[in-house]
Amino acid sequence: MSDPVLRVYDSILDMLSSVENPTPLLRLNRVTGFKHAKVYAKLEWYNPFGAVKDRVAANLLRDAEERGVQIENLVEPTSGNTGMGLAMLSNAKGYKFTATLSLAIPAEKRAALRVFGANLVELADELCPMPGAPEGAMARAEKMGAEPGWHELNQYKNPANPDAHMRTTGPKYGGRPRGR
């Protein structure tokens, strides 16, 4: 049985941030320029895949599932961390995931995506292509996502992306960090 207090989890999905398993906050005591303020840092490396983008990936999938989207083959353009989160979450949930990305992305990141179960469509485009570039990762994902049996979450236009942060990054707790 998962126990966030002991940091023991039965599934990678149980590690996602929630009220029961909050991302730790750390008070920064010597922050220049904040003499009369208490400043806290949110330790995002405690997220299952080590990035704030884990929240985005989880919320994009949650939103699609709640809307009843049938996910057989998921495709998403990525330059890294959101793709990592989607690859690992897709793997844990049994979804097939394809990342469209630039060959300019470091080989280590591409290798990690493969290790976590992603199929890669590697393109000779800019690292952060302009939306609408016909040869780019975004355009390829959009084209693949329109095919039968495929779905693109579209992290760049999907309202579930910023909603992830409204839900889990900085929800209001009475103006104080929890446990204080």
Domain positions in the chain are 53-162
The CA distances from residue 122 to 142, 152, 160, in Å, are 15, 17, 26
- The answer to whether the predicted template modeling score (pTM) of the entire model surpasses 0.85 is no
For residue 11, is pLDDT > 90? no
Determine the Cα–Cα distance for residues 137 and 117; give it in Å rounded to an integer. Answer: 19
Q: Does the domain made of 53-162 have the CATH classification 3.40.50.1100?
A: yes
- Per residue in 55-64, pLDDT (tens digit) is 899 999 999 9
What mean pLDDT comes out for the span 116-130?
A: 82
Q: What is the DSSP letter of 21?
A: S
What mean pLDDT comes out for the span 142-155?
A: 95
Task: Provide the Cα torsion 44, 160, 110, 16; round to 10°.
Answer: 40
What mean pLDDT comes out for the span 47-68?
A: 88
pLDDT band at 99 (very low <50, low <70, confident <90, very high): very high
pLDDT band at 129 (very low <50, low <70, confident <90, very high): low
Known catalytic membership, residue 172: no
pLDDT band at 180 (very low <50, low <70, confident <90, very high): very low
Which one from 42, 53, 109, 143 is the annotated catalytic residue? 53
